[in-house]
Amino acid sequence: MVNNTEQLNQFSMDLVEGALRFAQLSLDSTERLMRFQFEASKQILEENVAAARQLTQLALTAEAMEEARKYSTQAMERSLAQSRTLYDIASQVQGDFTRLAEDRVDTLTKSLTNGLDHLSKNAPAGSETAVNVAKSSLATATAAMSSLSKVAKQMAEFTDTNVKAASHATVEAVKTVSRRAPQGPTAQA
């Protein structure tokens, strides 16, 4: 009986530990996102103030248009870079939560396996079939979870590859459009 109480206490402690790790990951992730948002906002404000000051000092319309185009291109590139950073943070957070969930499932599986082993040792004669069915069900569920986990990892890798490719293509498109835009006094001619 004492062994059962110890197992239950250990199982409860594992659950509390998992909940605390989840809470810590949540707080850390929120902090990183808030810091990123604050720094990006501060940088954008500083750059826009500098751009506005410079644009007010330009006399020629063509020159002002060229500067506005340049700032527009820089803003687009900055937005893409910030989107990539945000995506990287989200991907890292998703990976952290996935690892935590896998760890919790592994701990739960081990606890259940240990409980079933203990049950089979102390079970009355003739109950071996029921214990074996429970063990078989647990093994099947564990295999299914493992397969789902592998599929989820493959989908995450596929998505990551596609997002990076799309981001790169967008950056290249912005650069191409920027190079083709009319520049200087010839834009009015």
| Per-residue pLDDT at 53 | 81
Q: What residues does each domain of the chain span?
A: 2-180
Among 67-71, 102-106, 151-155, 176-180, the minimum mean pLDDT is found in 176-180
Buried b (16+ CB within 10 A) or exposed e, 98-122: eeeeeebeebeeebbeebbeeeeee
Q: pTM of the full predicted structure?
A: 0.61
Residue 39 to residues 42, 116, 121, Cα–Cα distance (Å): 5, 53, 60
Cα torsion at 47, 88, 35, 81 (round to 10°)? 0
| Residue that wins the pLDDT comparison between 38 and 10 | 38
